[in-house]
Structures are given as structure tokens and as C-alpha cells.
């Protein structure tokens, strides 16, 4: 069975600084008309930065949708759909932690919420780290948290790290390192 839907109409209902929203009318594989509400995002990057002492660098940041301070990997949005994800990963790592890396290993893509959001987050693992100065965005406030990589994995398994991209990236980095890929 062909599972693709065909968009027959798309109405943009919101254009913001980071996202836009549309309501699309589609024809389903069964031939019926249906409505899809979509959020469009330029995409982003996330970096698991692990130093030679097996310490991982995370950031604490307040997230208003959950009214909570979350522990996350350094991450951020692409500056437009055309930005090179490697350059964006280098930028975000430097901005949020002050780190630069000798090596960035691409770990794959992560789709955070496939039912209504088209964001594609590219995940990287950084090694050969060098410390510099942080320079977060003007409206970005965060704390850098350095901890043993295995402790971060344990925090994921206990449900103490709740951010989806961070969970996926940390677990993927663990498996890649174990398999020496």
C-alpha cells in the first residue's frame, strides 16, 4: 500500500521568528480528504561533547513550556535551512560551552515530534575538546554542567534527563562508543 498523502492546499496561519504554522488539506492513501496542522522549523543541531577524561558537557536551561530547568546537550537551531549543520554544531558548542572540538562525528538525525513538526535535529559527538569563552545568544541564559558520561546515562535511565534530543543523543553516543563505530 502506498502510504503517502498528497497535499492539495496549504494555508500559512502564522509566521514567527523561529517557526511558522500551516493548516494543510491532504488526500489520504484511502482517497479521503483530511486536515493536517503543521509547525515548520528550520532544523537544528545537538552536540554530545565528551572530553578525554570521559566527562560530558551539558547545559541547564529554563524551558517555559514545562516551567522547569532541564539538563540538555548543547544545541540550537540552524540559521536558515541552508546552513551547514557541521558549522552550526561548532557554533552552538562554542556559544553554549566555550568548547571547540578536534573531531565532530555525525550520529544521525532526530525528528522530535513527527505528528505535526517538521524539525530535523542533526546529532553530533564531539571529542578532542579545547576550552574557550562562552558567548551565548543575547536572550540565552544557561549553566554549564560537566559530569561523568556514565552518570549522564544513569540519569537518562532514571528519568532525570527528560529532554528528548538529549536522551536520544546520549544513548546513541554510548552505543557508538561501545561498538567503536
* Average pLDDT score over residue span 153-161: 98
* Average pLDDT score over residue span 122-148: 93
- 24 with 92, same domain: the answer is no
Convert the pLDDT of each residue in 24-64 to its tens digit: 999 999 999 999 999 999 999 999 999 999 999 999 999 99
- 105 with 148, same domain: the answer is yes
- 170 with 93, same domain: the answer is yes
- Domain assignment of residue 35, yes or no: yes
Convert the pLDDT of each residue in 75-127 to its tens digit: 999 997 689 999 999 999 999 999 999 999 999 999 999 999 999 999 999 99
* Domain ranges, residue 36: 6-40
CATH of the domain at 97: 3.90.79.10
| pTM > 0.85 | yes
Cell numbers placing 168: 536520544
- Domain assignment of residue 87, yes or no: yes
Find residue 100's DSSP bridge partners. 130
- 27 with 99, same domain: the answer is no
- Domain assignment of residue 33, yes or no: yes
| pLDDT for residue 181 | 59
- 62 with 20, same domain: the answer is no
| Backbone conformation region of residue 165, classed left if phi is above 0, alpha if psi is from -120 to 50, else beta | alpha
| pLDDT for residue 135 | 86
Task: Answer yes or no: are the C-beta atoms of 29 and 71 closer than 8 Å.
Answer: no
Domain count within the chain = 2
The Cα–Cα gap between 111 and 146 comes to: 26
Cell numbers placing 91: 557554533
- Domain assignment of residue 109, yes or no: yes
* Average pLDDT score over residue span 7-31: 97
| pLDDT for residue 108 | 97
* Annotated active-site residue in 11, 37, 138, 140: 138
- 58 with 12, same domain: the answer is no
- Domain assignment of residue 1, yes or no: no
- 116 with 30, same domain: the answer is no
- 78 with 161, same domain: the answer is yes
- 84 with 14, same domain: the answer is no
Q: Which helix (H) or strand (E) holds 173?
A: helix 164-179
- 75 with 132, same domain: the answer is yes
Q: Active site includes 138?
A: yes
- 65 with 91, same domain: the answer is yes
- 109 with 86, same domain: the answer is yes
pLDDT of 6 > 90? The answer is yes
Amino acid at each position: 500500500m502506498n502510504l503517502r498523502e498528497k497535499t492539495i492546499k496549504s494555508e500559512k496561519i502564522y509566521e514567527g521568528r523561529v517557526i511558522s504554522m500551516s493548516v494543510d488539506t491532504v488526500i489520504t492513501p484511502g482517497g479521503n480528504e483530511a486536515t493536517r496542522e503543521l509547525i515548520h522549523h528550520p532544523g537544528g543541531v545537538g552536540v554530545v561533547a565528551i572530553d578525554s577524561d570521559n566527562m560530558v558537557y551539558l547545559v541547564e536551561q529554563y524551558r517555559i513550556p514545562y516551567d522547569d530547568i532541564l539538563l540538555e546537550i548543547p544545541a540550537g537551531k540552524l540559521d536558515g535551512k541552508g546552513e551547514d549543520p557541521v558549522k552550526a554544531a561548532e557554533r552552538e558548542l562554542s556559544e553554549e560551552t566555550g568548547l571547540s572540538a578536534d573531531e565532530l562525528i555525525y550520529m544521525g538525525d532526530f525528528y522530535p515530534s513527527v505528528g505535526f513538526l517538521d524539525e530535523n535535529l542533526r546529532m553530533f559527538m564531539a571529542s578532542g575538546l579545547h576550552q574557550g569563552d562562552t558567548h551565548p545568544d543575547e536572550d540565552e541564559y544557561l549553566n554549564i554542567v560537566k559530569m561523568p558520561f556514565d552518570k549522564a546515562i544513569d540519569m537518562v535511565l532514571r528519568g532525570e534527563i527528560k529532554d528528548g534530543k538529549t536522551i536520544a543523543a546520549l544513548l546513541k553516543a554510548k552505543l557508538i562508543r561501545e561498538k567503536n563505530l
